[in-house]
Structure 1
């Protein structure tokens, strides 16, 4: 009988992020893609968070208060993590489950040391 390894808690994994940049692409009106790259991520969640921070700052720069997450794809190759996230931005709280308040999110990102657009 083989023993299965206990999962390691995420917070105990080494985390030394190197944020390598954000490329923003306006897809259509309020639809925006954020291409992010980083090294040192623990898992896709770190990449998704980086993209969320970029979306929050972008919304603020454009004079909007909210964003709604539509999708994020994440891939890792040789230690380089890349994410492609798509958000809608809006002045009012959009319908949906994955909405963010841009100012609150941007503040949390700044406190966590995650760079933004």
Structure 2
């Protein structure tokens, strides 16, 4: 089960039928603060590309041996049919303070069920 206050990842529907996930750039900003820049073609809107960034953040959290991430902010833009999102998260082994926490295992499982790739 998800932890209290955890942010939901589920997009409104399954991924768009013609979605192309164009990759993830991961940047360690400082300490446990990480930026994930994702690009996507065929998204229905900003929610799709933001879900892609969350999935990347959750998988990266697990790769680093941590269990939780906290969403700081996400900016999403579109240009020439390509959506881009820059999501910033803190990652930690323990449940961080705040209301925008994510249990990385739960998020990654949800992403797989929805067909959204992770890192």
Tell me the alpha carbon deviations over residues 57-76 of structure 1, each in whole angstroms, 9 at most, x when there is no partner: 00000000000000000000
Name the residue aligned to 2:66. Answer: 64
Bigger relative contact order, structure 1 or 2, given CA contacts below 8 A and separation 6+? Answer: 2
Name the residue aligned to 1:4. Answer: none
Paired residues in the alignment total 106
Instruction: Give the drift of 1:16.
Output: 2.5
Name the residue aligned to 1:75. Answer: 77
- Once residues 33 and 42 of structure 1 are traced to their aligned partners in structure 2, the CA distance between those partners, rounded to angstroms, is 23
Q: TM-score, normalised by structure 1?
A: 0.86
- Once residues 81 and 70 of structure 2 are traced to their aligned partners in structure 1, the CA distance between those partners, rounded to angstroms, is 29
- Once residues 94 and 16 of structure 1 are traced to their aligned partners in structure 2, the CA distance between those partners, rounded to angstroms, is 36
Tell me the alpha carbon deviations over residues 14-71 of structure 1, each in whole angstroms, 9 at most, x when there is no partner: 6531100000000011000000000111111111100000000000000000000000
Query: Rg bigger for which structure?
Result: 1
- Deviating beyond 4 angstroms after TM superposition, the runs of 4 or more aligned structure 1 residues are none
Q: 2:91 aligns with which of 68, 77, 89?
A: 89
- RMSD of aligned Cα (Å): 1.2
Q: TM-score, normalised by structure 2?
A: 0.85
Structure 2: unaligned runs, 5 residues or longer: 1-11
